[in-house]
Amino acid sequence: MALHVQIREVGGPEKLELVDLPVGEPGPGQVRIRHHAVGLNFIDVYYRTGLYKGNLPITLGGEGAGVIEAVGDGVTHLRVGDRAAYATQAQGSYCELRVLDARTVCKLPDAIAFDTAAAMMLKGLTVQYLLRKTQPVGGLQAGDTILWHAAAGGVGLIACQWAKAMGLRLIATAGTDDKCRLALANGAAEAINYRTEDFAARVKDLTGGAGVRAVYDSVGKDTWAGSLASLGVFGLMASFGNASGPVPPFAPAELGAKGLYVTRGTLFTHLRTRESVQAMADDLFQMVGSGQVQIHIDQRFALKDAAEAHRALEARHTTGSTIFTL
């Protein structure tokens, strides 16, 4: 038996329940991991509210770190006793102990702590696929300017540092002056408080009217129009979240004047094979291990306080990464 946080029906944070559930043995291709820490992500809210569909009752969470307790047939890259971490589309990490597909579970370097790993796997791999793989025509070169929304969050602070390491000029947006200062301290070249400024107009000023090469937008509905207006000719609009609500339908002809490209990527599309998962994780481990990217854990909660953590996240009261400690 192990403690889990699950929902029996969709709704607000009050729907999160702490329950004791049995945990079985891993089957072929699976492992059982005992968590030391678990990450909190906005996608967890999407499942809780029903924006993303799951089979109820469901244990939330897709990111964690701990020690491998058992290994199923066919798993060769992990052994009992290994320190490990993962990001997965399969919900279920809000617990002490879980069985999951070994494909997305990676052996964790000794130099990276469990707390750090739980705070960085889903967020860091998201930045990896966006900055390394989701690029405008011709790719991104040192000196190029990009725009990143919600830059003081867990994904955003990693992106600020990673972009700086790539030589990119990242313009950050955030909802408070303090969050803007945090983005700047982590490598953003410029920061815009979107609550007090028209960020599209400011981007135009900062780029001499040229616009940015790419926009990385996890906010969705509220920033969509301004994001398109911020792009330069042949720019890329990379939508990867819906924190303010889904992007409304739009006419493709709106993209024509500047020849814009739009993509709606997901991390899990890139995590389809063991080889891809490991290559992406190795890149992330190298960036963190080298010190070029530091993981900021600004909030810690006990698993039993998951509802409180969700309230803080939805109210935009968090910065950096948030974890549950076990």
Count H helices and E strands in the chain, helices first.
8, 16
Average pLDDT (75-92) is 97
Q: Please report the domains of the chain, with CATH numbers, ordered by start residue.
A: 2-123+268-325 (3.90.180.10), 135-264 (3.40.50.720)
Which residue is it, tokens 């005992």?
A: 34
DSSP 130: I
What integer pLDDT is reported at residue 246 of this predicted model?
87
Whole-model pTM? 0.94
Task: State residue 276 phi and psi, 5-degree precision.
Answer: -65, -45
Taking only the tens place, the pLDDT of each residue in 141-168 is 999 999 999 999 999 999 999 999 999 9
Taking only the tens place, the pLDDT of each residue in 201-254 is 999 999 999 999 999 999 999 999 999 999 999 999 999 998 888 898 988 999
Locate 33 and state its tokens: 């991991």
What integer pLDDT is reported at residue 243 of this predicted model?
85
Average pLDDT (88-98) is 97
Cα distance between residue 325 and residue 118, in whole Å: 9
Which residue is it, tokens 């003081």?
A: 152
Q: Are strands 145-148 and 83-87 parallel, antiparallel or unpaired?
A: unpaired
> Which amino acid would we find at residue 99?
V
Cα distance between residue 246 and residue 54, in whole Å: 18
Average pLDDT (38-48) is 95
CB 131 within 8 A of CB 162: yes
Cα distance between residue 152 and residue 93, in whole Å: 24
Count of residues making up the chain: 326
